[in-house]
């Protein structure tokens, strides 16, 4: 499967220019990748909004059950969920007016990506926000 159209340097940079990131599937378990990435992004200066219906608070932040419950604008939706859950998340990202949809390592859904892209969202798939931010930072990039 060729995901290269959703892995361009330009798309990665545009997504990482976000200020407010909803992290869907953020876990309160420090052993989970989502926790480490969420903590990293928070310390990198992003405003993180945890989205997990099983949690009330993560990283000291109010957790929301879904994207539609979040007050205010979301720039980027960062997804830590199984690929089969992505279509409904993409639909919600479109509905709330997000500017970007980022699917973490191992996560992809071609129909969801095409839908989000056709609605004007910048999309990245099968990449890690933490890793990509670190690479760009080492190259002297700043948002």
- State both tokens at 63: 């957790």
Q: How far apart are CA 58 and CA 50, in angstroms?
A: 7
Domains of the chain in sequence order: 4-138 (3.40.50.720)
- pLDDT tens digit string along 8-60? 999 999 999 999 999 999 999 999 999 999 999 999 999 999 999 999 999 99
139 Cβ contact partners less than 8 Å away, ≥ 6 residues apart: none
Q: How far apart are CA 134 and CA 140, in angstroms?
A: 10
Name the pTM for this structure. Answer: 0.95
pLDDT of residue 6: 72
Q: How far apart are CA 130 and CA 70, in angstroms?
A: 23
Q: 51 near 74, Cβ under 8 Å? A: no
């Amino acid at each position: 499967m060729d995901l290269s159209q959703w892995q361009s340097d330009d798309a990665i940079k545009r997504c990482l220019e976000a200020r407010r990131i909803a992290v869907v599937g953020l876990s309160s378990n420090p052993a989970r990748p989502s926790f480490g990435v969420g903590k990293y992004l928070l310390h990198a200066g992003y405003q993180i909004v945890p989205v997990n219906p099983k949690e009330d608070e993560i990283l000291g932040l109010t957790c929301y059950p879904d994207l539609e419950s979040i007050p205010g604008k979301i720039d980027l939706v960062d997804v830590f969920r199984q690929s089969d859950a992505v279509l409904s998340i993409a639909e919600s990202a479109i509905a709330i007016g997000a500017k970007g949809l980022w699917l973490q390592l191992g996560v992809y859904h071609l129909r969801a990506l095409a839908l989000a892209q056709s609605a004007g969202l910048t999309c990245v798939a099968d990449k890690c926000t933490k890793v990509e931010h670190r690479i760009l930072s080492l190259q002297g990039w700043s948002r």
